[in-house]
Amino acid sequence: MVALTQSSSSAERVRIAIVGAGAIAELAHIPALASIAEAKLVAFVDPEEARRETLRGRWPAIPAHATLADLEKSGLPDAIIVAAPPEHHLEPALWARRHDLHLYLEKPVAASRSDVDRLVDAWRDAESVAMMGLNYRFHPAVIELRERISRGEIGRLVTLHTVFATPAVGPDDWRGSARSGGGALLDLGTHHLDLLSHLTGTQIVDVACVMNMRATENDTAHLTATLSTGCTAQCAFVFGAAETDRIEVIGERGALTLDRLNGSVAARSERFGYTRGAALGRARALMAAAFDGVTRARGEPSYRAALAAWLRKIRGLAVHLPTLEDGARLHRLVERAASASTSGERLPVSIDEADTS
Ligand SMILES: NC(=O)c1ccc[n+]([C@@H]2O[C@H](COP(=O)([O-])OP(=O)(O)OC[C@H]3O[C@@H](n4cnc5c(N)ncnc54)[C@H](O)[C@@H]3O)[C@@H](O)[C@H]2O)c1
């Protein structure tokens, strides 16, 4: 493991390999790393030959290996980002632990409970820095919303409504299979369930859920939850609908609505109607509509902010990061919601399972 100090020169940049260099690596991790002075992207590992050819075409200076063993032969990096499909997270995470490398693990931790438990156990007490890729905690609008809630702007919280929807998954996409770590509840719900606790500082104490299949396995999940304060939450997670990522927090004195795709937080109070924040949000939404999805994904600031926080921690600064244990608790919460869907019952969630703050 590298011991880097705050005064490390650019020659001491953290050398990072991306393991699983598919869509999110290309859209988010690679451009983010290119813009962070402390980071140096040194290798890709991807088992798909066609994907490696594409990577070599786009980034000819960065070697693309087929296996972790090939990467090891060519020289170990200081850190890895794991962005393979969830059923393939365990092996590189254990490999990184064996070599004392730092780890940025994309969500969810893994596809199965046994992989989650093995991975988290292996990393317990590690000295190198492991971070769960719950990047939306680092989104400026999420940070703003959290601050406004905690300063009491809308009073005591009564209910939250959230929607996270993305376009349909293709026929060969791992997101279409629960065994591979897909399904809307695990893939999209992990983010919003994390934010429910992160934004409100409370825990989920019970959950009910209905999952349906419109085109692919579990591509629609509707979940209701009760938080420890008695506040309720209703969430919809959907593949195959217009791209939407919205969280509305309704309190006794007003409401705040986060629209991540246009990066806004709009405020409303019963007495004053929508405030200037809402007008700005609408203006931003109109501007955002002028761009296509790829343009917006490239403009998503939370990946860079999350990776920059990871690198600050690697350099020895005191930074609060989402942990692998946070990811494991979210996995258990998702499992509980899936059980509630099967049984048709509202199920209690133990505090330990729900605490993601
Ligand atoms: N934080 C977020 O907002 C966010 C957004 C999108 C994806 N993700 C996560 O990132 C991960 C990848 O998602 P994606 O959309 O890029 O998927 P993808 O299918 O586009 O890319 C995955 C890549 O991993 C490669 N791969 C397959 N098996 C592998 C293995 N055993 N070892 C190494 N690489 C392997 C594939 O060839 C592919 O290039 C998933 O865990 C997903 O949940 C997170």
253 and 305 housed in the same domain = yes
CATH at residue 75:
3.40.50.720
DSSP-assigned states of every residue in 240-277: SS--EEEEEEEESS-EEEEEGGGTEEEEEETTTEE-HH
CA distances from 97 to 76, 118, 119, 124, 210 (A): 12, 12, 9, 10, 37
- For residue 275, the enclosing domain spans 137-354
The answer to whether 110 and 87 are in contact (CB under 8 A) is yes
Element (H, E) at 210: strand 204-212
Task: Supply the residue whose CA is at minimum distance from atom 5 of ligand 1.
Answer: 24
Report the share of the chain in percent with pLDDT over 70: 87
Using the 3D structure, point to which of 135, 153, 182 is the last residue of a domain. Answer: 135
- φ, ψ of residue 215 to 5 degrees: the values are -130, -40
84 Cα–ligand 1 center, Å: 4
Q: Which of 106, 186, 331 has most ligand 1 atoms within 8 Å of CB, for mutation?
A: 106
In a domain? residue 2: no
Q: Which of 108, 135, 162 is the last residue of a domain?
A: 135
pTM of the model: 0.91
Residue 268: predicted pLDDT? 82
Query: Is position 187 within any domain?
Result: yes
Cα-based angle 186, 192, 197 (whole degrees, multiple of 5): 120
Domains of the chain: total: 2
Section 27-47 average pLDDT: 97
The pick from 26, 27, 46 for probing ligand 1's pocket by mutation, whose C-beta has the most ligand atoms within 8 angstroms, reads 46
- Cα of 337 from ligand 1 centre, angstroms: 24
- Asked whether residue 355 carries a pLDDT value surpassing 80, the answer given is no
**What distance in angstroms lies between residue 252's CA and the mean position of ligand 1's atoms?**
41
> What are the pLDDT digits (tens) for 124-155?
999 999 999 999 999 999 999 999 999 999 99
CATH number at residue 268: 3.30.360.10
Q: Ligand 1 site: residues with CB under 6 angstroms?
A: 19-25, 45-48, 51, 83-86, 88, 106-107, 133, 135, 174, 187
Query: Among 100, 135, 170, where does a domain finish?
Result: 135
Mean pLDDT, to the nearest integer, of 336-343? 96
